[in-house]
Structures are given as C-alpha cells and as structure tokens.
C-alpha cells in the first residue's frame, strides 16, 4: 500500500517538473522571438508595438507618441499583426 502511494506521488512530482520545464522553455522562446516592430501583449493587458530593445528592457508604443519602458518578462504574447481596413 505504501509503495503505491509513493509511486503516485513520484509520478505527480515528475509531471509537475516536466510542465514547469516546458513553460520555462516556451517563455524563453517567446523572448527570443521578440524583435523591433513586433506587436506584443503585456501581462497587464497593454498592447503595443516594440520600438526599441535595450538588454532586459523594451520600449513599446501603445498609442502614437506614448512610449512605455517595460521589462522583457512582462511580455505575455506576441500578437499577430493587425491590418487596418480602409
């Protein structure tokens, strides 16, 4: 009985570790794909375009002439480019 519980606990721990590694790898890939001109969404929900990358910081423009300096870790996703209908 004790061996079954230990086995289940070991499997749960392995699944958690694997999930954490995958999440960390996905976050690293996201930051590596970050480039000037990319449309990004921050964890706070702010959307903007990357206009400058300085080490661990990025400058985004959320509205014309409004620049925000944020850390790269604040980027949640790289949004697809939005085309404006005319």
Mean pLDDT of 34-57: 93
Assign 59 to helix, strand or coil: strand
CA 15 to chain centre: 22
Count of residues for the chain? 86
Other beta carbons within 10 Å of 42: 19
Return the higher-pLDDT residue of 43 and 81: 43
For residue 82, what pLDDT is reported? Answer: 60
Mean pLDDT of 74-80: 88
Compute the distance between CA of residue 26 and CA of residue 73 in angstroms, rounded to an integer.
12
């Amino acid at each position: 009985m004790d061996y079954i519980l230990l086995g289940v606990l070991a499997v749960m721990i392995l699944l958690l570790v694997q999930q954490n590694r995958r999440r960390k790898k996905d976050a690293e890939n996201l930051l590596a794909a970050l480039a000037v001109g990319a449309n990004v969404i921050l964890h706070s929900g702010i959307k903007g375009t990357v206009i400058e990358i300085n080490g661990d910081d990025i400058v985004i423009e959320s509205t014309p002439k409004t620049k925000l300096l944020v850390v790269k870790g604040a980027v949640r996703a790289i949004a697809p480019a939005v085309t404006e209908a005319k």
